[in-house]
Structure 1
């Protein structure tokens, strides 16, 4: 696979889409209490082996690559999947042989840590007993089972938010390797592209049935042209994501450069497409009952994880790629 999935990759994509569509449909977010992974969903994902997709076989995983990792999280993104799915998957790579089975099976939940000055923001279910902090140098896994955190309101309905102090003495695993960051960046970029694709699909379907002045709105240039822009943004970001995933798989020296570019394009595509989707839907696009606002809020959060606009562009400014 280089710029498009084929063969077994398509089968994995279809299997993930079918499973996730039943396990966590987008409609769930219109009902209170469906943020994060539930205990049941975490167990289902663990039983299916999705947390260990890119984990080496020597560590009890499926032994697949960054390509399959990206394909799976693209499907997660299409359903505004909670961020703790990614945290759980990454934690499996850092945990030791004693802790890893509980993470891979979904028995123990993992929240994602985002630094907030001297404190930490935790994104994930309240029953998570582990917290994962990742940066470009590596990652740390903390035991937070006995640590109290303050609940905070979250703009993104798909994820809950807590804030507090990490118990530095309770580090249960640590690694100095940029691969963890790469998989996190690849996963969030893939989720963003899934969002961008769904936003396009929603407005295209609506444009086929909504009429104004006796004509379908899809017949007007004011709708067709923005839809074309949405399609172009999604396609450009998707192609860059596939290239970045293949570059990681092949061990290219410039893989991190392509990954930064993929995350930047994915952030742009998701946010712009989600916003355009709302605008073209008109009045219905700003209602709480519609999916449109879910995509926008989720894309804002994902855009802040594993590479923001300023950080990505700063690294890309002097980047070099293989000839």
Structure 2
């Protein structure tokens, strides 16, 4: 990759797009129980090796890089894929036991993402998860949650179920120190957000080509064209910074963390703004439950809070320096 995917990287992105459009289409979120990554979908992803893309070969992975990681999760984002797809991939990087890692990679054992919630943990992901992954910049811990009482809570995002476990602190079954897992999580979340920004743009562009008012396609009006151009600009800026951050991590640049924070910030902005504009430009149909538009906005709002929110990212970037 030289600032843009090429060769085998394009082939991986195309394969991921085709597979996910069939196995995990955004249409599933209009069903009663279509949002979670249940065992069948998890095992299907595992069989294809998607959880193991950036894992070293000596640990049962594909031995690829951060570049392939973002290409896959960008396509996950376009389908509003659940957060635990990312948690599953990261958990394989934390597992130290070969049997545990194999169960995670195959999808036999599910992994939810754990975030702090007062004295307890908020678990994002499928209710049948065996483990929960708690990640900070300094360390990543894999917790067993089979014996934890965690009642379900209403979730803003239909793509990701939520439970709250009070007093869930316990000894981890596996842990690792350093920033690697956090960086791959931040990179994956940024890629999913870029995917949402692009999907929102595609949705309104397609609609503007067929919807007519006063005898003309709405895409002929500046009031629609100009916001679409702004959406394209935001998506392009976020996508380019994402490619650069992935390449910086792959090449182990000293300023990779700076480029990654910039990528996540631009992705947060692009996804939320594009999803919101998409709803506005669709008019009345854009606010209906049957349409995809609201799903993208809700998913973007959740992902925007994971692995770096606006205040945290800007606080880190304000005093950061990049290499020449």
Q: Same fold (TM over 0.5)?
A: yes
Cα deviation for residue 167 of structure 1 reads 4.1
Q: Give the aligned length.
A: 323
Asked if 1 retains the 8 angstrom alpha-carbon contact of 2:52 and 2:60, the reply is yes
Give the structure 2 partner of residue 302 of structure 1: 303
Determine helix, strand or coil for the equivalent of 2:76.
helix
Segments of 5+ residues of structure 1 without an aligned counterpart are: none
Give the structure 2 partner of residue 73 of structure 1: 73
Give the structure 1 partner of residue 223 of structure 2: 222
Determine helix, strand or coil for the equivalent of 2:43.
helix
Determine helix, strand or coil for the equivalent of 1:141.
strand
Determine helix, strand or coil for the equivalent of 1:99.
helix
- RMSD of Structure 2 on Structure 1 (CA): 0.8
Give the structure 2 partner of residue 143 of structure 1: 144
Give the structure 1 partner of residue 268 of structure 2: 267
Give the structure 1 partner of residue 195 of structure 2: 194
Deviation string 1:120-165 (CA, Å, 9 cap, x unpaired) is 1000111001000001001000011111102100010001000013
Give the structure 1 partner of residue 29 of structure 2: 29
User: What aligned pairs does 1:1-323 form with structure 2 within 5 A after superposition?
Assistant: 1-96=1-96, 97-165=98-166, 167-323=168-324
What TM-score, normalized to structure 1?
A: 0.99
Asked if 1 retains the 8 angstrom alpha-carbon contact of 2:112 and 2:129, the reply is yes
Asked if 2 retains the 8 angstrom alpha-carbon contact of 1:65 and 1:249, the reply is yes
Asked if 1 retains the 8 angstrom alpha-carbon contact of 2:119 and 2:167, the reply is no
Segments of 5+ residues of structure 2 without an aligned counterpart are: none
Taking the aligned partners of 1:135 and 1:249, their CA distance within structure 2 comes to: 21
Determine helix, strand or coil for the equivalent of 2:173.
strand
Taking the aligned partners of 1:267 and 1:199, their CA distance within structure 2 comes to: 14
Note closer, same or farther for the CA distance 1:18–1:271 as it changes in structure 2 (3 Å cut). Answer: same
Asked if 1 retains the 8 angstrom alpha-carbon contact of 2:112 and 2:126, the reply is yes
Determine helix, strand or coil for the equivalent of 1:311.
helix
Taking the aligned partners of 2:290 and 2:169, their CA distance within structure 1 comes to: 42
Asked if 2 retains the 8 angstrom alpha-carbon contact of 1:144 and 1:166, the reply is no
What TM-score, normalized to structure 2?
A: 0.99
Determine helix, strand or coil for the equivalent of 1:121.
strand
Deviation string 1:222-245 (CA, Å, 9 cap, x unpaired) is 000000000000000000000000
**More displaced 10-residue stretch of structure 1: 26-35 or 312-321:** 26-35
Deviation string 1:78-106 (CA, Å, 9 cap, x unpaired) is 00000000000000000012310000000
Determine helix, strand or coil for the equivalent of 1:171.
coil
